Structure 1
Amino acid sequence: MKKVEKKRQLVAQHLEIFRCPVCHQPITKLVGNSIVCTQGHQIDFNKHGYLHFLKGAADTEYGREMFLARRQLLSAGLFKPIVRQIAQTLPNRALKILDVGTGEGTPLKQLAGFRPGITDYLVGFDISKAGITLATQLDLPAFFCVADLRQLPFVNDSFDVVTELFSPSDYAEFNRVLKPNGQLLKVIPNSDYLIEVRHLLYGSTARHSHYDNSRVRELFAKHYPGSRVQRIRYRFTVPTGLQAALVEMTPLHWGKGIRQLTATALAKLRVVTVDVSLLMARKN
């Protein structure tokens, strides 16, 4: 079976969760290579097997090279302990899971790997076509789409779980698409996250050398007063030859005053600190 046909089947299995990005009415049928809403608006699957729900062009700096670098590091295990902890918070039954800002999809694939024998319905979306194109290449029974987190193409009460690793949030939209008592799991960096990369790029005193997540945590707690926080901290040995990819995969190298790194400087990135907070809440 061709990849596009497999993706069409994944959508057809749960057509009821999708809604039209134009009129917000439910998607009611799949005709040929298209999904169609009650008002007759039509969205076509593209050649890669995903749906493009944005009304216009995406505004993003995340390109293919960045996502390829990210896939190299994540496949090597950079975020695996984080994903393992997320998996451990989930109930042992089939779930509908939405991954926000899924990028090239590796964390969603790893999450599925930590839940053997459980047939979850996995959906990942990102605003970047480059990331989603790469995600569709994964050997994973998941559906990926290009969408805006502020206008999610899903009906109310669609998902048991919303996961989000290092992405922006729209809590009103998350609450809308989560089922009652559904779980929201958000991962944010702590002050020591990849601090070795920060100091290599900016030194130890520049503005970009430091990070404070207090505002993000306070906003999350404001929306979810009963939320919990778990710190996840470990050291990761950077595989030989992936030092440049480690720098490329993060937005850290976009800041002003960045140092131009030589091969000698990059070689110093042998071990890095992964220090994050897992924010956990349930929809009231």
Structure 2
Amino acid sequence: MKKIERGMAFASRHVDIFKCPVCGEGFEEVMNGSFSCSKGHQFDFSKKGTLYFLRHGVKSDYDDIKMWEARRFVLKAGLFQPIIDEILSLIPEKNYLRIVDVGCGEGSTLKYVEEQRTNREDAYVGFDISKKAINLATRDEGSAFFCIADLAQLPFASKSFDVILDMFSPSAYGEFDRILKSKGLLFKVIPNANYLIELRHMLYEENDPQYSYSNDKVLTLFKRHYPHAKIKKITYEFPLSKTFFESLVYMTPLHWGAAAEKIDAALAKGLNKITIDVLLLIVENN
């Protein structure tokens, strides 16, 4: 089956997951390569089986194919596997869950989740604002459906997902609350102060704001929305080869503001391990 056929088949099977970002109505059918809502707004499937739901142009540093390819390489090597394994241990062992990955990037996280939840017949959806990332995500064989969408105006129906995954991505808590089912689970991962600290210290001087990091603002806002959330600290070291280190440098926004000579020096020196230090924030919807 071609990718466009797979995408259309997914939308046809799970039409109730989606809502039109133009008028807010539900979608009715897939016909002639388009997804149509009840008021006639149409969205065309790409050859890769994706849908473009944005209603405005996007200019973002994240639409960088080199960054996404580097991220894909390192994630497939297992950089975040202990985090995702912890999440998987908290997802109910039942069938037919609907799982959405917020800011899914190049799709590695969603692919890993699907591989671990074999024979569950779940429905997987990933979305990102970066078209290049979404195109890269479609390279993997799998059942997940990918789309380009706006976090602040999600093209999903209310109470349509059992699980929301948010790995290092921005959040729109009002939208999360809207699309999450009763008793559904939200998993949000945020960095701690020591996340990638070795790389941070290689790329920046002590007097630079980027030399250190605090998640206080993000965590305070999250707790304001979800005062009863559970919080789990996850810390480990990930071994790096020279090739992995080069990809790590380019997969993280840390390299954006770094001086060219600092990046060159870091690449020349390398690292044999990196610290992963995060908080896993867990919410069960009422």
The normalised TM-score by structure 1 is: 0.96
User: After the TM superposition, which residues 14-29 of structure 1 pair with which residues of structure 2 at under 5 Å, given as runs?
Assistant: 14-29=14-29
- Taking the aligned partners of 1:265 and 1:59, their CA distance within structure 2 comes to 28
The CA distance in 2 between the partners of 1:243 and 1:115, in whole Å, is: 30
Instruction: Show the counterpart of 1:218.
Output: 220
Q: Given residue 88 of structure 1, which amino acid in structure 2 is its aligned partner?
A: S
- Report the count of equivalent residues: 284
Structure-2 residue corresponding to 1:114: 116
Question: What amino acid does structure 1 have at the position aligned with 2:146?
Answer: F
**1:80 Cα deviation (Å)?**
0.8
1:151 is aligned to 2:153:
yes
CA 222–249 in structure 1, closer or farther in 2 if over 3 Å, else same? same
Query: Is residue 65 of structure 2 the alignment partner of residue 64 of structure 1?
Result: yes
Change (3 A) 1:134 1:33: same
1:4 partner amino acid: I
Q: Deviations over 1:98-118 (max 9, x none)?
A: 100000000111111222222
215-224 or 122-131: which moved more? Answer: 215-224
For the residues of structure 2 that align with 1:149 and 1:262, how far apart are their CA atoms?
A: 35
| Contact 2:129 2:148 (C-alpha < 8 Å) held by counterparts | yes
**Cα distance between partner residues in 2 of 1:266 and 1:237:** 17
CA distance in 1, matches of 2:268, 2:172: 36
Gap change, CA 1:254 and 1:261, over 3 Å in 2: closer
**Is contact 2:22-2:41 (8 Å) kept?**
yes
* C-alpha displacement of 1:244: 1.7
Q: Give CA-to-partner distance per residue, 1:200-259, whole Å, 9 cap, x none.
A: 100344210111112211111111111010011100011332222111000001126564
1:76 corresponds to which residue?
77
Q: Take 1:177 and 1:13, find their aligned partners in 2: how far apart are those partners?
A: 18
| 1:130-145 mapped onto 2 (5 Å cutoff) | 130-145=132-147
Letter in 2 for 1:231: K
Aligned twin of 2:255: 253
Query: What is the Cα-based RMSD across aligned positions, in Å?
Result: 1.4
Gaps of at least 5 residues in structure 2 are: none
Matched letter for residue 68 of structure 2: F
Give, as a single letter, the amino acid of the residue that structure 2 aligns with 1:183: L
Partner of 1:244: 246
Partner deviation per Cα, 1:171-216 (whole Å, 9 max, x = no partner): 0000000111211100000000000110010034421011111221
Change (3 A) 1:12 1:25: same
What amino acid maps onto 1:80 in structure 2? Answer: Q
1:171 to 160, 167, 173: 173
* Cα distance in 2 between the residues matched to 1:219 and 1:56: 27
C-alpha distance in 1, partners of 2:6/2:174?
A: 32
Secondary structure of the corresponding residue to residue 260 of structure 1:
helix
How far is 1:10 from its partner?
Answer: 1.2
Unaligned runs of 5+ in 1: none
Percentage identity across paired residues of the two chains: 45
SS of residue paired to 1:40: coil
TM-score by length of 2: 0.95
